[in-house]
Structure 1
């Protein structure tokens, strides 16, 4: 299985290319959704990596895809500038998804 990066940042894209991971750079919501659809149609792609800033362009649509499709796994990562999320982002995500406090 291959991994695929969708980033708004050229530095993140170059770093992933050096690690052997292909991808695209997008700046608009339509470009992001088109890249996601392309990645979902490719049977060889098992992991789609999306940077945080890119995720913010279409968060609702991506979260909907994460819930409805089994493949590829969609994962959010910070870019070279570090995370924009709060310290408790994972805890908050679990609380929102499952409805329990941990």
Structure 2
């Protein structure tokens, strides 16, 4: 399974140490350009060959907030890459559900 990360520079560098390619972004335009490149949505770049598309796209929460509408649209299509959000260097954004919270809510387990 191939992974790709879009996030803060330090996290992209850390993931690169274990062989995960990525792009760092500091604003919405950079994040959106990287997202469109990875998903093949960019009109300037031809759609990547299916073997070039990562299976999992890792986004920091900060980046996912910047391009939330595009992410929701992509997820509704049900195509690869699967999008996974992780906390950034500053930790979890308050008020944002964690993956564990979402699973507990979906399954109906409340502890």
Which sections of structure 2, spanning at least 5 residues, go unmatched? 41-47
Bigger-Rg structure (1/2): 2
Q: Tell me how far apart the structure 1 counterparts of residues 96 and 59 of structure 2 sit (CA, whole Å).
A: 19
Per the alignment, do residues 88 and 5 of structure 1 end up closer, same or farther by CA in structure 2, a change over 3 Å counting? Answer: closer
Which sections of structure 1, spanning at least 5 residues, go unmatched? none
Q: What do you get for the CA RMSD once the two structures are aligned?
A: 2.5
Following superposition, which runs of at least 4 residues in structure 1 exceed 3 angstroms of deviation? 85-95
Q: If each structure's strand is expressed as a fraction of its own residues, which one has the higher value?
A: 1
Q: Tell me how far apart the structure 2 counterparts of residues 37 and 94 of structure 1 sit (CA, whole Å).
A: 31
1:94: how far off? Answer: 8.2
Q: How many residues align?
A: 97
Question: Is the CA contact 2:9–2:25 (under 8 Å) kept in the aligned structure 1?
Answer: no
| Farther off after superposition, 47-56 or 85-94 | 85-94
Q: If each structure's helix is expressed as a fraction of its own residues, which one has the higher value?
A: 1
| Residues 34-80 of structure 1 deviation map (CA, whole Å, 9 limit, x = unaligned) | 21111113323111100001111111221121121321111111123
Are 1:39 and 2:38 an aligned pair? Answer: yes
